[in-house]
Every structure is written in structure tokens, then in C-alpha cells.
Structure 1
Amino acid sequence: MSVTVDEGVLAEPRPCARCSQPSLLWVAGRCADCIAQLGLQDDSTEYQAWKNDVREEFGRK
């Protein structure tokens, strides 16, 4: 598999599904700030839902 790099293409921010703020770092719908907040909550329900989304999108390792 080869990867083609287009030097003219810039990264574009995408809105976070949780906070709606645009972010360049976006994993399974959430920005880095929201992922950190999910990990620090006492109730891990939302964090577990995000982890399941990551597994669904990228596969389980």
C-alpha cells in the first residue's frame, strides 16, 4: 500500500460531537478536551461509550 501526500492540502477542523467546538484533533467524534473530560469523570458510562465508538471505527486490538 502506498500513501500519496498532497502538500497543498491543509488539515481542516471538524466539530466535536460532544461540545461542538472545531478541533484538528478529533477521535471517534470527540475533541481532545472532551476525551480528557470523559476520562476524568466519576461516572465512566460516557467514556465507555466513546471507547466502544473507537473500537467500532478502528477495530479492536
Structure 2
Amino acid sequence: MTIWAIIWLVILIAIFIGTYLLNKHTPKPEGCEDMSECVGCNNIACSHHSAHHKEEVKDAN
């Protein structure tokens, strides 16, 4: 029974590595180079979402 667990673990790790490499080599779509202006989705958990960026405070002096 442990052999099946090892086989499944190897398959899952291979799938993870394969999809990671495929995603890494996928080119960015045109127009997505400037991530500060990204409004493509409403996913607030995305690190590129504008809600995570502090606005620059200009000194009035």
C-alpha cells in the first residue's frame, strides 16, 4: 500500500513542477508590463492590486 502512496506523491510533485515551469515560461500579454495600472481583476489578495500600494504624500513645504 505504501508503494501507491509514493507513486501518487511522485505524480503530484511532477504535476506541480510541470505546471510551475509552464507558467514561468508563459509570456506576459501585451499591455501588462506596467503592473501599477493593473485593473484587470478585483482580486484584492493580488500583490499587484492598487489597494496594496501606499499613495505618495507630497510635502506642502
**Larger of the two Rg values belongs to structure:** 2
In which range does the TM-score fall when normalised by the shorter chain? under 0.3
- Which of the pair is proportionally richer in strand? 1
Q: TM-score, normalised by structure 2?
A: 0.28
- Greater relative contact order: 1 or 2 (C-alpha under 8 angstroms, separation 6 or more)? 1
The answer to which structure has the higher helix fraction is: 2
TM-score (norm 1): 0.28
